[in-house]
Amino acid sequence: MSLFRRIWLAVIGLTVAAFAASLLVNTFTARSYLEKQLYLKNADNATALALSMSQIREKDPVTIELLLSAQFDTGHYQEIRLTDPAGRVMVERRQEAAAAAGAPDWFVRLFPIKAQPGIAHVQDGWKQFGTISLASQSRFAYQDLWKGTLELSLWFVVGGLIAGLIGTFMLRLITRPLDNVVEQANAITRRQFITVDLPRVPELKSVVRAMNDMVMRVKQMFADEAARLESLRRQVNHDSVTGLPNREFFIGSLREALNGEEGSAVGLLALIRLADLNNINARLGHAKTDALLQLVARQLNEASAAHNNWLVARIRGADFALLAPGADDAPALANKLAQDMRELATSWPELEGLFHLAVVGYQRGEPMETLLANADSALAIAEGKGPNESFSSMHAAAAPLATSGEGWRSMLSNALSEQRLKLAGFPVMSASGVAIHQESVIRLQARADGPWLPAGDFMPMAERLKLTADLDLQVVRLALNGLRTGHGDIAVNLSADTIADWGFHNKLVALLEDQPALCRRLWIEVAEQGVFRQLEAFRDLCRTLKKLGCQVGIEHFGHRFGEIAKLSDLGLDYLKVDGSFIHDIHLNAGNREFLAGLCKMAHSIGVSVIAEGVRSAEELAALPGLGFDGVTGPAVS
């Protein structure tokens, strides 16, 4: 039984007990008062009758009997009796007790009124003639007593209702802080670390303060460990001079771009090399050379700032790289980068030549070694052209799926209406080889007899045309169908634009709310980049999905690890670490330390950690020892 109900029952019990006690006390008091009043009336009437009889000169039996009968008939008496001095009855008039008007029999039996009869002496001259005993009817007293009891009961009922309403209001005021404490405790069990306002109730204030202190300590511990791991991540994966990602991190990201399921179908790779860095260092000195490197890094970051998925890295001392997934115009990018670098070179007139630059195109599935060799060859051509020159080359492009925005819109809309969509599943396994879920990604047919295209071929255009919500809703429908007909759990991912669409949010709730059994087997994830881009929308989505029973997670996690404190109140179930951190993990001691700390911190708040993009047996063997709960990728079957 809840505390609120217990308190409410206690209040009701006390009110009823107080009512019963007050009713009994008042009823007995009223009865005593009525008995006293009846006795006084009896005594007065007996005295008056005795006085009248004493004044009669001739007290013959007939006259006396007529007088008593007349008195009995005109009053409401139960008994009038005249006895002689010896106690013998001379005249007696009696009436059986009449039913109390308006008072029930049980009430009469429960509260009997026993008034003493009035007694007076009748004189005959100087002698005592007899004794009058007179008792009045009590039915009217019962009527008054019953009426008073009913009125008192009515007032008590009204008072009880008013007291109940006031008590309910007061109880709600008292228990509302307790409800907040319970909600805070439940939120902590859901891995949502929230604080609540201190209540005014002193007994609860100390409890809430202790809970808030615990949450703040957990958050601080979480933030301190996150800061340490973020520092380690940057130390391991970033260049200390420019702050850009280093070669190891870039190679892992490039591998994911070429082989990842969600990668763009095409893209560009740019290499920028500073001409003779040793000579630059000798001319400018160490400090100025570092400043130059930082300016180059800033210039490249500005060139890629408009594209969230582009990556700039310093891959060797004099070499920088720009990975541009989705870009397809190599000459335009080469010209833009070369122009920016030439403007930068004007600030360093003491340097005869600052850079050489090459841009090459790639397609998904192309071997990384081939792409890097092509880029090196293109860079050699640029170097052969002279200082501050560029060169670009493209693969023979595949025929586009559509030639205009409207063409793409028509193609995607037709695929949706004709249900030319399906899910392809990839296993996510635990360290012991048990299936955790199937990671399902969307496939689409551009035409009825065409091949099934991966998401990277059409999702970028769907995002541009604001069609991701319709596609993602269909993905959820397909996942539910798969859950109905199959066994195990299914994971699907939603795009950042989708989670910010309230129309999609409402449709998703309508789709899931009547299927709690399926929701418990449905895992929904959003890419890290999209989570931080639409953080409030993702927070609302988490609350909704958790209430429905779904598992919620973040995929491609790790690039913005320094902001992990922003996720402390989301109640996440799992994280999928991006494959760029998993690349050659068995050879990268720094990343092993970082990922081991990440797993430990996630486990401390009940969050599972899964590795993405596992491509070799060596990587697969190294991950369980770091604390990973699951793995997925080409090496997992």
Q: Are residues 388 and 411 in the same domain?
A: no
Give the range of the structural domain holding residue 18, as residue numbers without chain letter: 3-161
pLDDT of 527 = 93
Q: Are residues 449 and 539 in the same domain?
A: yes
Find the CATH number of the domain harbouring 449: 3.20.20.450
Q: How sure is the predictor about 241, in pLDDT bands with cuts at 50, 70 and 90? A: very high
pLDDT digits (tens, 9 = 90+) for 251-269: 989 998 888 777 788 899 9
Between CA 48 and CA 46 the distance in angstroms is: 6
pLDDT of 609 = 96
Single residue among 161, 180, 207 that ends a domain in this structure: 161
Least confident piece of the model among 104-118, 314-328, 514-528: 104-118
Single residue among 366, 393, 420 that ends a domain in this structure: 393
pLDDT of 12 = 79
pLDDT of 522 = 96
In a domain, 95, yes or no: yes
In a domain, 223, yes or no: no
Q: Are residues 487 and 611 in the same domain?
A: yes
With tokens 């991966």, the residue in question is 454
> Tokens at residue 228, please?
């340490």
Find the CATH number of the domain harbouring 140: 3.30.450
Between CA 474 and CA 343 the distance in angstroms is: 49
pLDDT digits (tens, 9 = 90+) for 10-29: 777 887 888 888 878 888 88
Please check the confidence at residue 2 and state whether its pLDDT lies above 70.
no
Q: Are residues 485 and 617 in the same domain?
A: yes
Q: Are residues 412 and 302 in the same domain?
A: no
Q: Are residues 381 and 409 in the same domain?
A: no
pLDDT averaged over every residue in the chain: 86
Q: Are residues 358 and 469 in the same domain?
A: no
In a domain, 239, yes or no: no
Q: Are strands 608-611 and 630-631 parallel, antiparallel or unpaired?
A: parallel
Between CA 63 and CA 80 the distance in angstroms is: 15
pLDDT digits (tens, 9 = 90+) for 197-211: 777 777 777 878 888
In a domain, 174, yes or no: no
Q: Are residues 388 and 414 in the same domain?
A: no
In a domain, 290, yes or no: yes
In a domain, 200, yes or no: no
pLDDT of 404 = 67
In a domain, 549, yes or no: yes
Single residue among 121, 145, 161 that ends a domain in this structure: 161
pLDDT of 625 = 94
If you write DSSP's letter for every residue of 565-579 in order, what string do you get? GGGTTS---EEEE-H
Q: Are residues 588 and 623 in the same domain?
A: yes
pLDDT of 532 = 93
pLDDT of 101 = 61
pLDDT of 592 = 94
In a domain, 133, yes or no: yes
Rounded mean pLDDT, 312-338: 93
Which amino acid is present at 113? I
How many Cα atoms occupy the beta-carbon half-sphere of 42 within 13 Å? 24
Count of domains in the chain? 3
Between CA 259 and CA 327 the distance in angstroms is: 17
Query: Residue 76 contacts by C-beta under 8 Å, 6 or more apart in sequence?
Result: 136, 137, 140
Between CA 257 and CA 265 the distance in angstroms is: 9
- CA-wise closest residue to 609 among 590, 623, 620: 623
Please check the confidence at residue 400 and state whether its pLDDT lies above 60.
no
Q: Are residues 364 and 409 in the same domain?
A: no
Q: Are residues 10 and 47 in the same domain?
A: yes
Rounded mean pLDDT, 225-245: 89
- CA-wise closest residue to 617 among 578, 585, 581: 585
How many Cα atoms occupy the beta-carbon half-sphere of 331 within 13 Å? 0
Least confident piece of the model among 100-104, 265-269, 383-387, 510-514: 100-104
Find the CATH number of the domain harbouring 271: 3.30.70.270
Q: Are residues 383 and 427 in the same domain?
A: no
pLDDT of 165 = 82
pLDDT of 97 = 60
> Tokens at residue 270, please?
């740019």
- Longest CA span, the chain: 165
